[in-house]
Structure 1
Amino acid sequence: MIFDLFKLDGKTALVTGGTRGIGLGIARALGDAGARLVISSRQENAAALAELRDAGYRVDYINADMSDPDAPGKLISDTLALVGNLEILVNNAGVADHGDTVGFSAERYRHLMAINLDSVFYACQAALNSMRQQRGGVILNIGSISGYISNIPQRQAAYNASKAAIHMLTKSLASDYAEDNIRVNAIAPGYIETDMTAGGFANAEWAPVWTGMTPMKRAGSPQDIGAAAVYLCSDASSYVTGEVLVIDGGYTAR
């Protein structure tokens, strides 16, 4: 049956930044598909974890501040020590920071890059060692349409650069490790209703532009991203690697 290809029974999925927003949406979806979940975040969200467990998912939580360069490697090793295997890594943890480039401080730039790019590279690096030994695995990185376009009206050159780098990292890793039966893909969300975008949607200048430039004239939901994550993390996409799947209500189609 075709639907059996979407099942993740017996597989462990680590979702970084998995206690809210897109990460939580992905965790719910992977749990629905049967995966055992390991969720990390900088701050524990007891309500979100309780919700997942009440839904019947098997969930473990590991605290990790991904701005610490040692955190990604430790997170992977802690996950392996806890559950013994790791078939799926979802690099979702990220931050948004807007501002004019001229006044964008080095501290803000380094903090953004440390989380959005560096932590993803280090987490992939650590997970690849394990996945190569087990002769297979899936890595899913969360990029953004900001890796393709220059958003308006807000200025966010540093953020855009971080997401463009994620897309190329995804393609490069997919090429390098396909022979080890490791698939690496990414999702590039458009404007999704989350805590991260709440301020923008409440902004009288930004919100009309965001929705006005989206052909579907609305924001997406974390569930939209979660559904795509199940496809890319399951055997349903067994011949897909090095792809960046755009989910944006048509924003980049124009």
Structure 2
Amino acid sequence: MAAVSVQVPPTDDIMASSTPFSPLAQSMVDERQSSIAAAATPAESLATVTTSVPRKRNVFDMFRLDGRVAVITGGARGLGYSMAEGLCAAGLSGIAILDLQTDLGEQACDQLHSEYGVSARFYRLDVRDEVAVQDAMDSVVRDLGRIDILVLSAGVADIVHAEDYSPAKFRRVIDINLNGSFVCAQAAGKHMIAAGRGGSVIFVGSMSGSIVNWPNPQSAYNASKAGVIHLMKSLSAEWAKYRIRCNSISPGYMDTPLNTTYEEAYFHEWKSRTPMNRLGQPEELAGCALWLASDASSYTTGSDILIDGGYTVL
């Protein structure tokens, strides 16, 4: 085959030239243009394209909550307040305490502001009142700018034998623990969805939602917490598309004011049935709450986390 001699015009003129090329000539022009373009590409640009090394992130930074706002129901004391402290220590810009106990709620906010420098607001609230709940969530957004984290800690418990349980008293436990959790999650969730930033909703369940802790008769409480856990799972599926994660913390027997109102005899039974042989301290939930509230748990949703000293493994 005879050799073909092709005069290649300057690079800038190749695409603009109206002179037709034979197929073979055109292929040689194209090859030449490619080699010229490659020669002009800086080596560092090639390295950027051909290598992909993700930047390492300090794991402790993933627990930071800087710029975020949390809402804690039942946060005036006990488990709710301990979890509020844990979140504030990680750099929250604002926190809202929603509770029925005005004096304790205002004291909690003063303490959080004094110790952590966080903007803290108290809103008196009965979680059973859906109109008041919506107004409270609207007020949080107006006063603190946003809602990123919701911790649903408001709850009550009765120790009453089933045959003696009045329907009204049974309904009260369900209404506060289960219905109240839904009403608050729904109201805060609407703001999270509208803002488009995602969020974290942390339900406070109980090991009583998975097992029947004996010997205390508490059918309403057990049923309510089983409902809370499954409500959490249901919302986690529905709201994943909005990047709203829903999880629950299920404590075992904790040393709280709520539990100290019961007969001393129960304490001995509770401790003896717990492998760690003690009640939990409220602050022992704070680390889990922080993990669930932060980016450290960004791929976790629909999970119920038991913190019970080993009670449920027996």
TM surpasses 0.5:
yes
Q: Please give the alpha-carbon distance, in whole angstroms, between the structure 2 residues aligned to 1:98 and 1:232.
A: 31
Q: Please give the alpha-carbon distance, in whole angstroms, between the structure 1 residues aligned to 2:114 and 2:189.
A: 32
Q: Give the 5 Å matches for 1:171-190.
A: 171-190=233-252
- Aligned letter for 1:152? W
Of 219-228 and 2-11, deviating more is 219-228
Which residue is 1:138 aligned to?
A: 200
Which residue is 1:10 aligned to?
A: 67
Indicate conservation of the 8 Å contact 1:20/1:48, yes or no.
yes
Of 233-242 and 115-124, deviating more is 115-124
Which residue is 2:285 aligned to?
A: 225
TM-score w.r.t. length of structure 2: 0.78
Which residue is 1:88 aligned to?
A: 149
Q: Please give the alpha-carbon distance, in whole angstroms, between the structure 2 residues aligned to 1:70 and 1:143.
A: 24
CA RMSD, Structure 1 to Structure 2 (Å): 1.2
- Aligned residues between the structures: 252
**Moved runs in structure 1, 4+ residues, more than 4 A?**
none
Q: Please give the alpha-carbon distance, in whole angstroms, between the structure 1 residues aligned to 2:131 and 2:155.
A: 16
- Aligned letter for 2:215? P
Q: Tell me whether 1:40 sits opposite 2:98 in the alignment.
A: yes
SS of the equivalent of 1:108 reads helix
Which residue is 1:212 aligned to?
A: 272
Indicate conservation of the 8 Å contact 2:199/2:243, yes or no.
yes
SS of the equivalent of 2:71 reads strand
Indicate conservation of the 8 Å contact 1:69/1:118, yes or no.
no
Output one character per residue of 1:186-224: Cα deviation in whole Å (capped at 9) or x when no partner: 000011111001123xx3421111001111111111111
- Aligned letter for 1:253? V
The alpha-carbon deviation at position 153 of structure 1 amounts to 1.4
Between the aligned residues of both structures, percent identity stands at: 38
Which residue is 1:115 aligned to?
A: 176
With over 3 angstroms needed to count, the CA separation of the structure-2 counterparts of 1:33 and 1:95, relative to structure 1, is same
Q: Give the 5 Å matches for 1:68-79.
A: 68-79=129-140
TM-score w.r.t. length of structure 1: 0.96
Of 69-78 and 83-92, deviating more is 69-78
Which residue of 208, 217, 228 maps to 1:155? 217
Indicate conservation of the 8 Å contact 1:69/1:114, yes or no.
no
Which residue is 2:226 aligned to?
A: 164
Which residue is 1:98 aligned to?
A: 159
Bigger Rg, which one: 2
- Structure 1 unaligned blocks of 5 or more: none
The alpha-carbon deviation at position 63 of structure 1 amounts to 0.8
Which residue is 1:31 aligned to?
A: 88
Q: Please give the alpha-carbon distance, in whole angstroms, between the structure 1 residues aligned to 2:158 and 2:203.
A: 19
- Structure 2 unaligned blocks of 5 or more: 1-57
Structure number with greater CO (CA < 8 Å, separation at least 6) is 1
Output one character per residue of 1:86-122: Cα deviation in whole Å (capped at 9) or x when no partner: 0011111011111011211122112111110111111
